[in-house]
């Protein structure tokens, strides 16, 4: 087996011509969503599954998410039960902070349990569209990540970048075309999202997530 670094705490494990994306496990011995754990040279790596995480899918499609690194603060909108968030927690490590926003109280219970095991996660059970109400507990962050299936997902991303993203910081938004507009062709909806974002940010890369996710793209931006 061979190990190749992608970004801080993210590695390809290569074996017999195939490769598996992994993150260095922040909480040794614990698998978060049933992903496999590999132990190599005294270190523990968790498989990062691209069909379960749009960020992993973007890396499988060749993108290195610059800006995501050890020690940074991340504002994560639409954290759900924490699948992708757990890998971001691995990446940012002990010195990092991930503010994880989830609207559903029911789902939020699992998020809170995850945060008990991972001290760099700070759950906020609230509507990402109204986060300015929570301004006092939030600091400006280095990275903004959004994955919410809402019609106004682009507007919510821009508003939170205005309020909580550092100048020069990075962001990524998972665009779910069908949630924005069910009638127009998904490629057209994604292009409209890209254009709207380009008025506010520099666009680093737009990645169509097929075959891992249908009618989804992820757009990486710099503030």
Ligand X SMILES: C[S@@+](CC[C@H](N)C(=O)[O-])C[C@H]1O[C@@H](n2cnc3c(N)ncnc32)[C@H](O)[C@@H]1O
Q: Which residues bind ligand X (CB under 6 A)?
A: 53, 77-78, 80, 83-84, 101-104, 107, 127-129, 147-150
The Cα 39–Cα 109 span in angstroms is 30
SS3 16: coil
Minimum CB distance to ligand X, residue 148 (Å): 4
How far is Cα 49 from Cα 97, in angstroms, rounded to an integer? 23
Q: In the complex, what is the shortest distance from the CB of residue 151 to ligand X, in angstroms, rounded to a whole number? A: 10
Beta bridge partners, 23, equal: 10, 46
**Is the CB of 1 or the CB of 182 nearer to ligand X?**
182
Select 107 or 203, whichever has its Cβ closest to ligand X.
107
Q: Are 66 and 170 in contact (CB under 8 A)?
A: yes
Instruction: Please state the φ and ψ torsions of residue 216, each to the nearest 5 degrees.
Output: -125, 145
Cβ 157 to ligand X shortest distance, Å:
11
Nearer to ligand X, 12 or 33 (CB): 33
* Closer residue to ligand X (CB): 1 or 149: 149
> In this structure, are residues 7 and 22 in contact, taking their beta carbons and an 8 Å threshold?
no
Closest distance of CB 41 from ligand X, Å:
29
Give CA–CA dist 214/211, Å, rounded: 7
| Position closest to ligand X via CB | 78
Residue 102 Cβ vs ligand X, minimum distance, rounded to whole Å: 5
CB of 22 to ligand X, least distance (A): 16
Which residues touch 185 (CB under 8 Å, ≥6 apart)?
A: none
Kindly tell me which of 9 and 84 has the beta carbon lying closer to ligand X.
Answer: 84
- Which C-beta is closer to ligand X: that of 3 or that of 81? 81
β-pairing, 165-176 vs 216-222, is: antiparallel
Candidates 152, 142, 204, 201; CA nearest to 175 is 152
């Amino acid at each position: 087996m061979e190990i190749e670094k992608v970004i801080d705490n993210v590695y390809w494990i290569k074996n017999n011509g195939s490769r598996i994306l992994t993150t260095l496990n922040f909480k040794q011995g614990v698998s978060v969503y049933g992903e496999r754990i590999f132990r190599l040279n005294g270190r523990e790596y968790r498989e990062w599954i691209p069909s379960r995480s749009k960020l992993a899918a973007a890396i499988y499609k060749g993108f290195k998410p610059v800006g995501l690194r050890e020690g940074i603060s991340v504002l994560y909108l639409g954290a759900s039960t924490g699948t992708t968030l757990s890998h971001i927690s691995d990446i940012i490590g002990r010195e990092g902070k991930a503010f994880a926003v989830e609207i559903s109280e029911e789902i939020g219970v699992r998020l809170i349990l995850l945060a008990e095991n991972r001290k760099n996660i700070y759950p906020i059970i609230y509507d990402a569209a109204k986060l300015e109400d929570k301004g006092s507990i939030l600091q400006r962050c280095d990275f903004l990540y959004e994955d919410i299936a809402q019609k106004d997902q682009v507007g919510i991303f821009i508003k939170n970048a205005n309020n909580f993203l550092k100048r020069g910081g990075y962001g990524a938004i998972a665009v779910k075309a069908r949630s924005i507009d069910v009638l127009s062709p998904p490629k057209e909806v994604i292009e409209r999202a890209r254009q709207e974002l380009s008025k506010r940010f520099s666009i680093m890369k737009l990645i169509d997530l097929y075959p891992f996710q249908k009618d989804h793209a992820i757009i990486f931006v710099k503030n």
